[in-house]
Amino acid sequence: MMLSLNCLILGQASEKSLTENIGEIYTDDSNVVIGFSQFTVSTFKEKLFRRGEVKNIVQNIEEMDLWKVDNKKVEEENNLKEFTKSDIIEKLGGKEMVARFLFKRYFDVNQEMDIKGIHIFIVPTSTEPLNPIYSYLFSKVPSKREREKEAKASRKVQKIFGATSVSETRIFKTIAENSEARLDENKLELLYGIPNFFSFCTNAGIIFADKTMYIEQLEKNQSNYRYMFLRPRRFGKSAFLNMLCNYYDIHKADIFNDLFGPLYIGKNPTSWRNQHLVLKFDLSSISVSGSRDRIEASFNKVINDTLQDFIEKYGTELGCPEVKNVLDTSNASASLMSILKLAGKFGHTLFVGVDEYDAPANNSAFTDTSTGLEQTTLDNVAKLEQFFKKSFFAVLKQGCRRLYNGLAVISKYFLVGVTPAFRAGNSPLIEAVIVSDEVGLHGICGFTESEKLYNGYFFASSGYNKSDPQPPLIYNSHLVFHYLRKFSSHGLVAKSEESTAIHSTTILKSISNIGEFSVKDLEDLIINGSVRSKIKTEFDFSDLLKIGKNSTITWSLLYYLGILTHLKKLEDKLYEEDASNLLARNYMYWSEEQREPILTTVNNVMADGVKQLKKYMQTIKMGKPKSYCDSGVLDSRVIIDEEYDDLQEHVVIAIGRRILINSTKLMSTSNKYQRALLNL
């Protein structure tokens, strides 16, 4: 089940509509999983506020209202850009959506929606004028002469603030250049959930980490690169991709020093800076529910909308073409090929970024797992996978080859996602190099810190450096921000249980529903804390049918989703922990009596074991065994003496079952846990 709704910000043209998908479940900003039956209008506003297009218009979630409109009446209007709030009510039959009401009060999940129409208007309630910074983002980029003229004119709000290093580290804060907008040191801000590099440098007080040194590393490996970078959700992949877009964009050449000057790449620019037209896709907004025609219609709309924005932005460079003469509304693949040929015709090269490139397959496979991954679901995913390979990724592959006048139009592309999807078999993506596990690029996304705040992840091989055999732990950016916000608001550290693995519920549910994997294989992981497995670097989503049956597929998927990670040597990990931490570790076992898994701690298990041992020892002490089999002791000369503790008694009994003991001598070791050594 999936709702696909088009939302339009009041004052913008209908072509600028934002598509939001709502599935069976939703994870809010606090990592709370919400089912659709509890999904409210307020929750939908929170979801919208994650979009950079919305956040650039309103400063907080309370500064916007949502209005449901009559889709048929919207189709009768030609100029929505000039509409006012009164027009929404009078001409479109607008009905304000109350924040506390359930979302299903306004939209029926079983209702067939027009994917091309407008369903909701976003109405900003703030009376403050739009910041010139955001006007710049949404308007057509002016010519160089116009930008130079604007730069000389006085303005009250700085368009670019610049940044300065914090304590000579890689952490920077955005500062204001004029005295009127001087930064209040007590009002530092984290851009939580906004993957917009431009915003990092245009909002005074923003704190961000400099990751620009990796641009140099990417080009050093291969100047005309085709890379794929994989990390679990909320690690900052979109923010890094957005930074690459700003770095390569020819339209950002005049403000390069403002954006990158204080950062590493600003002081060490490469020859490719500001050399490309930038084409960036986000495949997460493509609806993959419903019929094949419905999916293709959503694909055509999302891709064509992106291409239309590209034409409007680079109109001068592309010879000012008419959009209708370039784009085919019913065939986005043909539209994309036309754009590539057009750019090549005028001698331009492209940097292509694809955000959440694997989202269509992921969403299709795991949107509804109430009955596990059925064969029908996997068949549909396989067909979907072939469609995207042929209709999208194959076209990009052609653009990377000699497409026009013997030149490759796509100079570089960078794909980010969670899983290595669309790569198995004869795939157009097989040429894309997965660089997320390379040591030199390990820190592209996430934070490093000597103090452990949350459980970290290893994504690079551990044996790459003899002097430093383990790369630094990488921390999920979202969880770090969550921690810092909680701490700054309440002065308290959030418990680790509040920040569980993100978006893992449906995956684990799929595995448990199949049942062939969950009990036996997960038992090793739960008890020992680790498992041995190879990680698959490519797979078709038809392989997901093997989840629960093929442990390699399952472990690989859990690894890419961030539920599992590489483990340093177990003895080193245990050595770093004291007895209290080890005893506090969670322990789960299956209860045959209660027919459900029981979660406890190692300490509780040991305490219960001691109780059982005492009962066992008492039984042996109280009676005379008829034979060695009755008590489990091989030789009746082995006795349990009161001077020994429970653990020592257990060792005597356990070893006594296997060998004949002539004499015993027990000694205590100096280890963290008392162990009994037997001199035989």
Single-letter amino acid, residue 618: Q
Q: Does residue 23 carry a pLDDT above 50?
A: yes
Q: What is the pLDDT of residues 306-349, one digit of tens each?
A: 999 999 999 989 998 999 999 999 999 999 999 999 999 888 99
In a domain, 643, yes or no: yes
In the listed set 130, 164, 190, which residue is the last one of a domain according to the structure? 130
481 contacts: CB under 8 Å, gap ≥ 6:
190, 192, 193
How many percent of the chain have pLDDT more than 90?
A: 19
Single-letter amino acid, residue 539: F
Token duo for residue 428: 């157009």
Q: What is the pLDDT of residues 271-307, one digit of tens each?
A: 999 999 999 999 988 988 878 899 999 999 999 999 9
In the listed set 113, 130, 147, which residue is the last one of a domain according to the structure? 130
Q: What is the pLDDT of residues 595-636, one digit of tens each?
A: 777 888 888 888 887 787 777 666 656 655 555 445 444 445
In a domain, 16, yes or no: yes
Q: What is the pLDDT of residues 449-472, one digit of tens each?
A: 543 333 444 444 434 444 444 555
In a domain, 224, yes or no: no
Q: What is the mean pLDDT of residues 559-588?
A: 66
In a domain, 106, yes or no: yes
What DSSP string runs through 38-81?
G-BHHHHHHHHHTSHHHHTT-SSGGGEEEEE--HHHHHT-S-GG
Q: What is the mean pLDDT of residues 475-492?
A: 56
What per-residue confidence (pLDDT) applies to 497? Answer: 45
- Residue 86's Cβ-side half-sphere holds a number of Cα atoms within 13 Å equal to 0
Structural domain total, the chain = 2
Tell me the residue range of the domain where 655 lies. 616-678
In a domain, 501, yes or no: no
Q: What is the pLDDT of residues 114-162, one digit of tens each?
A: 778 899 999 987 644 433 333 333 334 444 444 444 444 333 333 444 5
In a domain, 451, yes or no: no
Q: Which residues does residue 351 pair with via DSSP β-bridges, in sequence order?
A: 278, 412
29: domain CATH number is 3.10.20.90
DSSP 102: B
Phi and psi dihedrals of 676, rounded to 5?
-100, 130
Nearest to 39 by CA among 55, 28, 52, 51: 28
**Confidence band (pLDDT; 50, 70, 90) for 413?**
very high
Helices vs. strands in the chain: H and E counts, helices first: 26, 22
DSSP 397: H
In a domain, 244, yes or no: no
Nearest to 229 by CA among 52, 419, 53: 419
Q: How far apart are CA 374 and CA 514, in angstroms?
A: 10
Regarding beta strands 410-417 and 433-434, do their DSSP bridges make them parallel or antiparallel, or are they unpaired? Answer: unpaired
Phi and psi dihedrals of 349, rounded to 5?
-115, 160
Angle formed at CA 330 by CA 328 and CA 332, multiple of 5 degrees: 60
Q: How far apart are CA 238 and CA 17, in angstroms?
A: 20
Nearest to 290 by CA among 349, 230, 367: 367
What per-residue confidence (pLDDT) applies to 190? Answer: 58
Q: Which of 257-266, 580-589, 596-605 has the lowest mean pLDDT?
A: 580-589
What per-residue confidence (pLDDT) applies to 496? Answer: 46
In a domain, 357, yes or no: no
Q: How far apart are CA 66 and CA 48, in angstroms?
A: 10
What per-residue confidence (pLDDT) applies to 242? Answer: 92
Q: Are 579 and 419 in contact (CB under 8 A)?
A: no
Q: 590 or 221: whose pLDDT is higher?
A: 221
101 contacts: CB under 8 Å, gap ≥ 6:
40, 41
What per-residue confidence (pLDDT) applies to 451? Answer: 36
In the listed set 102, 130, 158, which residue is the last one of a domain according to the structure? 130
**For the chain, percent helix, then strand, then coil, each to nearest 5?**
40, 15, 45
Does the pTM surpass 0.85? The reply is: no
Q: Does residue 211 carry a pLDDT above 50?
A: yes
Strands (E), 518-620: 586-591, 596-601
